[in-house]
Chain A
């Protein structure tokens, strides 16, 4: 027993000792592959090491809030633009405009945040499902799609919440009542909504994250990404530097790297839209999409009510 304990202690000490002291710490929402490539490329070109914590936007923000007394992160990348506005309002962010942000359109940058890339919501449709190709959101409420539609839960997906808000004000709340009456189901997080469609249990996701579905398609999955005619919402992913950082120079270098041609190419490779207009995307770009009007302040002001109404609509 003693020998076992000793061995375990040695093992644990080894584990703890191997935690490298890095130069900057980045908290980020997915995808994991993108941040792995970005940090590897950044370290190779600057020699600055990067430690990463990757989770959902919600978990990243929860950790930031719990750490508020003694912040650990230098750079934060989230999947929800609202986080940037809110943290700027609380005075938590360092003002920085990267020279590489010159080619980023104005609506994708502020004094304290700049988009890494942009994703949009779409319909993810399985062409082998025996259903007609949908062209707009309302098609999914038609009898062809009876019991065959999934929706991500807007309580678990920030961009889905924005889509719900935007569609509520654009079409009135009938669209979701019609979907519910047509047997559509709220499946959980984004991945939970897509999976049944890939296997064929369902025919389409109403509000799928475009780049995840596009990369599934690239892997050979039977799925098509359709941007609805009446418009959709986009989710720019803000990258920002915390004011509390003790490595402001390295953090700024990291933002520069994300916005460099090399960094933006990595963003494009994930099937997201790169923030810079001069980098080619592997999918339709933002000026090719129809956008639904959205008053973000108003939408987030009424978030609880919107979520409650949405949940009640799909309650059985």
Chain B
């Protein structure tokens, strides 16, 4: 986002220094691992320091007939998920923000849960519910295997997982725009629908585009759902191709790296497209006048609206959660939903003293917290440098911070090993938990960058100017004016980083420090060895914790808001 002349700071020494530090940190954390991924794609023997056979793998992968199909399937999955997510989330967010919705906080909590259910768990839950003789058939005599194991099924399950991202971003943004701008247009004679379509919706475009882009990236890098549902119908995407290259011996590291570059290319193209769309027009809604949010009454639409909210909550939260719980409580899978088959044995083995599960829980929650703080800090500063300064190197920061878009975890992990396991390094985070922190920061950096960018774009430069007229330095202005306004958005981004980092599977599986487990790798091991029940019990505990912790933070923040 090119800074508008008036808003951008000409940058004193302090800002120049800040930009240099951010550029250096991004180089180490993001650019160098990517360089090694690129080297691995080009030189198959880079792992042993050999530059022999350059481009051999690249040519083979790019020339194979499978690549165009996998790329097309990936696009279908990504765009389909974006479309379905928008259809679900935009109306819900508008209703939530612009009308007096009964039980608004309650719906917010319910809609937080689907995002907390890791997609591979939700998918498995749906399979166990919907397949022949699954929970649904045991209860009602019907199954939905036909829909489940299909491309629309994959898109639907991914959308039910992703829609909270758009719902929360948009309802916040709709609330910021408020009825205020729409009221003005109604004064000028626009009908409510025209006012919404021509004024309210366009003003929330940055939030909509940013969150849909995030959904696109999440969908095309998602592994579990297409792997479980797509394999049966021959629906292969880039990520499943990458996993196949590393899934079994003999492994094909250059092939995996090449496919990863294609995937990152797709995401980057989407990112550039989003930018071009937003380059036109101003979106500042936070001006120097405070917004009074006047929410309207729903009137006779009250019941239908509530039914719609309930239906979405049931399908996105209720069904997967009940399936996870049912499996966790079952002594055996083949025993089904019989009362005699229920017990707490699986939970007992999760909580058993000295169990690996407890260690894994603590490790993941700690990792999530550290990753969230570091990623949030780095992302916010990077967005600020790019958007509100004219410091040298901000173009570089802009590009590098966007690089990890949809970077597949398994290949990022490879890049990290190649970089951090070099014998000449005096100290290295490799084989400590810090390597996981670094991987999570890399993978999730685009989140806080996007959220902060969207927030900064809605803050009118007149606020910056006002601060400067009052004699504030650039950094004081950033701290006293911008930070408080950006903070809520940044906090949402950090919660997102926390949740995703705490459950990250694919990268963790490959670079787990020896002797360590995370929540996701623990669950994966249970599934892999046929202990579905213990895996689901752990998943249920995790969903509870990862829902509760952000809730506490949000409630505390709201209380602080109310007091302030």
| Interface residues, chain A, with chain B CB atoms under 8 Å away | 4-5, 8-9, 11-12, 15-16, 19-20, 22, 25, 30-33, 36, 51-59, 61-63, 65-70, 72, 78, 80, 82-83, 86, 126, 128, 153, 155-158, 161, 185-192, 194-196, 198-202, 212-213, 215-216, 219-223, 300, 303, 311, 314-316
**Secondary structure of the B contact surface, majority rule:** helix
User: Could you say which residues of chain A place their CB within 8 Å of the CB of B253?
Assistant: 62, 65-66
Known: A12-B437, A192-B228, A199-B128. A58 touches B525 (CB 8 A): no
User: Could you say which residues of chain B place their CB within 8 Å of the CB of A61?
Assistant: 249-251
Question: Are B417 and A22 touching (Cβ within 8 A)?
Answer: no
The stretch of B84-92, B208-216, B366-374, B460-468 in contact with A is B366-374
Question: Are A67 and B421 touching (Cβ within 8 A)?
Answer: yes
Alpha-carbon separation in the docked complex, A295 to B251 (Å): 20
Question: Are A156 and B423 touching (Cβ within 8 A)?
Answer: no
Alpha-carbon separation in the docked complex, A205 to B492 (Å): 45
Question: Are B514 and A201 touching (Cβ within 8 A)?
Answer: no
Q: A12-B434, A61-B251, A191-B528 are in contact. List 16 more A-B contacts (CB 8 A).
A: A11-B369, A12-B437, A54-B525, A58-B251, A62-B253, A62-B510, A68-B48, A187-B231, A187-B232, A191-B529, A196-B127, A198-B332, A199-B131, A200-B336, A201-B145, A202-B132
Known: A62-B414, A66-B418. A156 touches B247 (CB 8 A): yes
Pick the contact of A222 from B332, B366, B525 — CB < 8 Å? Answer: B332
Flag whether B532 is at the interface (Cβ < 8 A). yes
Pick the contact of A8 from B251, B373, B422 — CB < 8 Å? Answer: B373
Alpha-carbon separation in the docked complex, A290 to B227 (Å): 33
Query: Would you list the 4 A-B pairs with minimal beta carbon distance, nearest first?
Result: A200-B133, A222-B334, A51-B514, A201-B131
Question: Are B513 and A59 touching (Cβ within 8 A)?
Answer: no
Question: Are A12 and B370 touching (Cβ within 8 A)?
Answer: yes
Alpha-carbon separation in the docked complex, A178 to B47 (Å): 43
Alpha-carbon separation in the docked complex, A58 to B510 (Å): 10
Flag whether B547 is at the interface (Cβ < 8 A). no
Alpha-carbon separation in the docked complex, A9 to B377 (Å): 13
Flag whether B244 is at the interface (Cβ < 8 A). yes
Flag whether B314 is at the interface (Cβ < 8 A). no
Known: A66-B421, A192-B228, A199-B128. A31 touches B248 (CB 8 A): no
Flag whether B527 is at the interface (Cβ < 8 A). yes
Alpha-carbon separation in the docked complex, A259 to B196 (Å): 74
Question: Are B231 and A188 touching (Cβ within 8 A)?
Answer: yes
Find residues 209-258 in chain B having any chain A CB closer than 8 Å to their own CB.
227-228, 231-234, 243-244, 246-251, 253, 256
Question: Are B530 and A15 touching (Cβ within 8 A)?
Answer: no
Identify 15 residue pairs between A and B in the complex whose beta-carbon atoms are under 8 Å apart, listed by A's number: A12-B370, A15-B363, A16-B434, A30-B529, A58-B249, A59-B510, A63-B510, A65-B47, A69-B422, A153-B231, A155-B247, A187-B231, A194-B530, A198-B334, A201-B134
Flag whether B304 is at the interface (Cβ < 8 A). no
User: Could you say which residues of chain B place their CB within 8 Å of the CB of A36?
Assistant: 356
Pick the contact of A57 from B248, B367, B418, B437 — CB < 8 Å? Answer: B248
User: Could you say which residues of chain A place their CB within 8 Å of the CB of B515?
Assistant: 19-20, 22, 51-53
Question: Are A199 and B333 touching (Cβ within 8 A)?
Answer: yes
Expressed in whole angstroms, the minimum distance between the Cβ of A179 and any Cβ of chain B is 13
User: Could you say which residues of chain B place their CB within 8 Å of the CB of A190?
Assistant: 528
Considering only CB atoms, which chain A residue lies closest to B533 in the complex? A219
Pick the contact of A19 from B145, B431, B528 — CB < 8 Å? Answer: B431
Question: Are B334 and A126 touching (Cβ within 8 A)?
Answer: yes
User: Could you say which residues of chain A place their CB within 8 Å of the CB of B232?
Assistant: 185-188
Pick the contact of A83 from B131, B228, B249, B356 — CB < 8 Å? Answer: B249
Question: Are A221 and B332 touching (Cβ within 8 A)?
Answer: yes
Flag whether B433 is at the interface (Cβ < 8 A). yes
User: Could you say which residues of chain B place their CB within 8 Å of the CB of A216?
Assistant: 530
Known: A30-B528, A59-B509, A63-B417. A25 touches B514 (CB 8 A): yes
Find residues 250-281 in chain B having any chain A CB closer than 8 Å to their own CB.
250-251, 253, 256
User: Could you say which residues of chain A place their CB within 8 Å of the CB of B434?
Assistant: 12, 16
Flag whether B335 is at the interface (Cβ < 8 A). yes
Flag whether B432 is at the interface (Cβ < 8 A). yes
Flag whether B331 is at the interface (Cβ < 8 A). yes
Alpha-carbon separation in the docked complex, A195 to B232 (Å): 14
Considering only CB atoms, which chain A residue lies closest to B511 in the complex? A63
User: Could you say which residues of chain B place their CB within 8 Å of the CB of A53?
Assistant: 512, 514-515
Question: Are A68 and B47 touching (Cβ within 8 A)?
Answer: yes
Known: A65-B253, A157-B248. A196 touches B131 (CB 8 A): yes
Known: A16-B432, A62-B253. A4 touches B246 (CB 8 A): no
Question: Are B509 and A55 touching (Cβ within 8 A)?
Answer: yes
Considering only CB atoms, which chain B residue lies closest to A157 in the complex? B248
Flag whether B49 is at the interface (Cβ < 8 A). yes
Pick the contact of A80 from B47, B133, B249, B256 — CB < 8 Å? Answer: B249
Alpha-carbon separation in the docked complex, A188 to B225 (Å): 11
Question: Are B249 and A32 touching (Cβ within 8 A)?
Answer: no
Alpha-carbon separation in the docked complex, A165 to B417 (Å): 34
Alpha-carbon separation in the docked complex, A295 to B423 (Å): 39
User: Could you say which residues of chain B place their CB within 8 Å of the CB of A201?
Assistant: 131-134, 145
Alpha-carbon separation in the docked complex, A66 to B127 (Å): 35
Alpha-carbon separation in the docked complex, A70 to B525 (Å): 27
User: Could you say which residues of chain A place their CB within 8 Å of the CB of B145?
Assistant: 201
Question: Are A69 and B334 touching (Cβ within 8 A)?
Answer: no
Question: Are B528 and A189 touching (Cβ within 8 A)?
Answer: yes
Which of A9, A82, A215, A216 has the most chain B CB atoms closer than 10 A to its own CB? Answer: A216
Alpha-carbon separation in the docked complex, A66 to B49 (Å): 10
Question: Are B334 and A30 touching (Cβ within 8 A)?
Answer: no
User: Could you say which residues of chain A place their CB within 8 Å of the CB of B527?
Assistant: 191
Considering only CB atoms, which chain B residue lies closest to A54 in the complex? B525
Question: Are B529 and A220 touching (Cβ within 8 A)?
Answer: no
User: Could you say which residues of chain A place their CB within 8 Å of the CB of B47?
Assistant: 65-69
Known: A15-B433, A63-B510, A222-B332. A58 touches B247 (CB 8 A): yes
User: Could you say which residues of chain A place their CB within 8 Å of the CB of B373?
Assistant: 4-5, 8
Known: A54-B525, A59-B510, A191-B530. A78 touches B363 (CB 8 A): no
Alpha-carbon separation in the docked complex, A33 to B356 (Å): 11
Known: A53-B512, A201-B131. A11 touches B231 (CB 8 A): no
Question: Are A82 and B418 touching (Cβ within 8 A)?
Answer: no
Which of B133, B231, B369, B509 has the most chain A CB atoms closer than 10 A to its own CB? Answer: B231
Question: Are B333 and A221 touching (Cβ within 8 A)?
Answer: yes
Question: Are B532 and A195 touching (Cβ within 8 A)?
Answer: yes
Pick the contact of A32 from B421, B432, B529 — CB < 8 Å? Answer: B529
Question: Are A86 and B431 touching (Cβ within 8 A)?
Answer: no
Question: Are A69 and B228 touching (Cβ within 8 A)?
Answer: no
Alpha-carbon separation in the docked complex, A155 to B421 (Å): 29
Find residues 488-522 in chain B having any chain A CB closer than 8 Å to their own CB.
509-516
